[in-house]
């Protein structure tokens, strides 16, 4: 393995050994900060608080000054390991077995964070360049995401940081390193349908009004037909009923109310407002006089896309040069902190292979973490060659 690869692997293992299950940090960010300071970065640790949520520690590190300003973004927090007995080895020991590092967060996404730091350190050590490199690292991505990236971006902007482009290290590849760059994400909206009838004895249905048949009819009307057929850069939007609740323990009572909860993953054809209006229309058409209400939770995940341009081409080129694979440009999958970054600058996501994220025996080949560091360094090479003129 190259020195760069070994550096990334060593740092990944050091990070995994800090059990930073959201909202704990357990020294993970200090381990990263130490490596970045050694490479000449100035590092600041910022803790954000909000009522009803745990305090979260975040890290902002910067090398150089001025434009162009390239940012790596990611999170050091991890999801809980689950049943320890089912792990091949301790999830926080970062043991290597058959060339693979095993541990919670290796894939999502301490491997990528380590690759960021190793690539940036190597690039900065090779000599002066025009511009700056930052790392925006939160400890609140897997949790409520309230005291994390969104606040860290605002905090950095208040202090004069202007980001030109950003790369997030979420695991984006379905099967092999180099498969896929995420250029955007679908939005996510949660809603509840409530149908109100009148409670009564099942033997006297004429005196009651059962809300369940209407709730079933309305739920089906919300879910079909399809919301759209997809757009140029997105799959079709999808509404999924995730719960249907009456909560009636009795066989001889017609209940008063029925509820269905649903989630919509939507593309750039929609806003939360236009979706709410469409669903209201669908429900009203199917109601046949039933007393229904639709309610939506606040939406902080709009659909967004970074249109293929010079930056997208540059990152795709660096991936292809290093791995020999031409990455697919995709907007599939769940939401990520990229939804907050897009308000500041164009943002892409590229990281490890995602197959074992959040699972027991989360793992990645050490060689792939080294290869990811080589890709990130190639991105920095190309970025400052292309964008740092004048």
Q: Which residues pair with 185 in a beta bridge?
A: 304
Shorter beta-carbon distance to Zn ion: residue 172 or 210: 172
Report, in Å, the least distance between residue 79 CB and Zn ion: 9
Pick the piece of the chain touching Zn ion (CB under 5 A) from 6-14, 24-32, 101-109, 322-330: 101-109
Q: What is the DSSP letter of 107?
A: I
**Distance of alpha carbon 341 from alpha carbon 133, whole angstroms:** 16
Residue nearest to Zn ion (CB): 108
Q: Report the nearest approach of Zn ion to the CB of residue 368 (Å).
A: 16
> What is the dihedral sign for C-alpha 204, 206, 209, 214?
positive
- What span, in angstroms and rounded, lies between the C-alpha atoms of 93 and 42? 29
Stretch that binds Zn ion, among 100-108, 283-291, 319-327, 348-356 (CB under 5 A): 100-108
Compare residues 167 and 214 and give the one whose CB is closer to Zn ion: 167
How far apart are CB 336 and Zn ion at their closest, in Å? 7
Q: Identify which of residues 73 and 315 has a Cβ nearer to Zn ion in the complex.
A: 73
**Whole-angstrom Cα distance, residue 155 to residue 151?**
6
Q: Are 77 and 20 in contact (CB under 8 A)?
A: yes
Catalytic residues: 77, 141
Which span sits near Zn ion by CB under 5 A: 108-116, 132-140, 289-297, 312-320? 108-116
Minimum distance, C-beta of residue 109 to Zn ion, in the bound complex (Å): 5
Query: Angle 272-287/212-223 helices, nearest 10 degrees?
Result: 140
Closest distance of CB 141 from Zn ion, Å: 5
C-alpha–C-alpha distance, residues 326 and 121, integer Å: 26
Q: Which of residues 232-261 bind Zn ion (CB under 5 A)?
A: none
From the CB of 124, what's the least distance to Zn ion, in Å?
A: 25
Q: Which of 109, 166, 239, 353 binds Zn ion (CB under 5 A)?
A: 109
| Binding to Zn ion in span 6-45, by CB under 5 A | none
CB count within 10 Å of CB 244 equals: 15
| Shortest Å distance, C-beta 105 to Zn ion | 9
> Please, which residue, 76 or 257, has the CB nearer to Zn ion?
76
Q: How far apart are CA 28 and CA 142, in angstroms?
A: 15
CA distances from 340 to 40, 146, 202, 222, 348 (A): 28, 11, 51, 29, 12
Q: Locate tokens 């939360």: which residue?
A: 272
Tell me the C-alpha to C-alpha distance, in Å, between residue 186 and each of 34, 272, 313: 36, 12, 21
Mapping DSSP to helix (H, G, I), strand (E, B) and coil, where does residue 183 land? coil
Contact by Cβ (8 Å): 372, 352 = yes
How far is the C-alpha of 224 from the C-alpha of 239, rounded, in Å? Answer: 8
Q: In the complex with Zn ion, which residue's Cβ is closer, 222 or 338?
A: 338
Residue 352's contacts (CB-CB under 8 Å, 6 or more residues apart) are 106, 107, 109, 111, 112, 171, 173, 177, 364, 368, 369, 372
Among 7, 108, 150, 368, binds Zn ion (CB under 5 A): 108
Confirm or reject binding of residue 136 to Zn ion (CB under 5 A): no
Residue holding tokens 């792990």? 87
> How many residues of this chain bind Zn ion (CB under 5 A)?
3
Nearest CB to Zn ion, comparing residues 237 and 356: 356
Residues 156-195 binding Zn ion (CB under 5 A) are 170
β-strand partners of 44: 60
For Zn ion, the closer of residues 108 and 377 by Cβ is 108
Question: Residue 113 corresponds to which tokens in the numbers above?
Answer: 């964070």
Q: List contacts with Zn ion (CB under 5 A).
A: 108-109, 170
């Amino acid at each position: 393995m190259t020195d760069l690869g070994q550096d990334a692997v060593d740092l990944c293992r050091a990070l995994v050994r800090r059990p930073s299950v959201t909202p704990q940090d357990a020294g993970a960010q200090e381990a990263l900060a130490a490596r970045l300071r050694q490479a000449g970065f100035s590092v600041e640790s910022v803790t954000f608080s909000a009522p009803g949520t745990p305090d979260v520690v975040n890290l902002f590190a910067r090398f150089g000054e001025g434009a162009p300003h390239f940012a790596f973004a990611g999170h050091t927090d991890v999801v809980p390991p689950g049943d320890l007995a089912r792990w091949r080895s301790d999830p926080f020991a970062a043991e290597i077995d058959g060339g693979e590092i095993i541990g919670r967060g290796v894939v999502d996404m301490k491997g990528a964070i380590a690759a960021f730091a190793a690539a940036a350190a190597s690039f900065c050590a090779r000599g002066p360049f025009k511009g700056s490199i930052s790392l925006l690292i939160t400890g609140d991505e897997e949790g409520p995401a309230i005291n994390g990236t969104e606040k860290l971006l605002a905090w950095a902007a208040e202090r004069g940081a202007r980001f030109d482009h950003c790369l997030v290290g979420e695991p984006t590849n379905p099967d092999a390193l180099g498969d896929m760059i995420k250029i955007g994400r679908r939005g996510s909206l949660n809603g509840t349908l409530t149908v109100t009838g009148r409670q009564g004895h099942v033997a006297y249905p004429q005196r009651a009004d059962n809300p369940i048949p209407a709730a079933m009819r309305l739920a089906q009307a919300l879910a079909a037909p399809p919301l759209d057929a997809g757009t140029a850069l997105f799959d079709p939007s999808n509404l999924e009923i995730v719960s249907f609740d009456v909560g009636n323990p009795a066989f001889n009572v017609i209940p008063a109310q029925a509820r269905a909860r649903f989630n919509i993953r939507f593309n750039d054809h929609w806003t939360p407002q236009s979706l709410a209006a469409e669903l209201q229309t669908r429900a009203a058409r199917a109601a046949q006089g039933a007393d229904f209400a639709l309610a939506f939770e606040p939406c902080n995940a709009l659909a967004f896309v970074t249109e293929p341009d010079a930056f997208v081409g540059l990152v795709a080129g660096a991936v292809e040069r290093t791995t020999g694979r031409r990455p697919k440009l995709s907007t599939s999958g769940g939401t990520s902190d990229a939804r907050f970054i897009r308000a500041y600058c164009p943002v892409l996501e590229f990281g490890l292979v995602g197959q074992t994220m959040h699972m027991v025996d989360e793992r990645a080949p050490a060689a792939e973490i080294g290869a990811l560091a080589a890709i990130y360094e190639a991105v920095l090479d190309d970025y400052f060659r292309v964008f740092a003129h004048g």
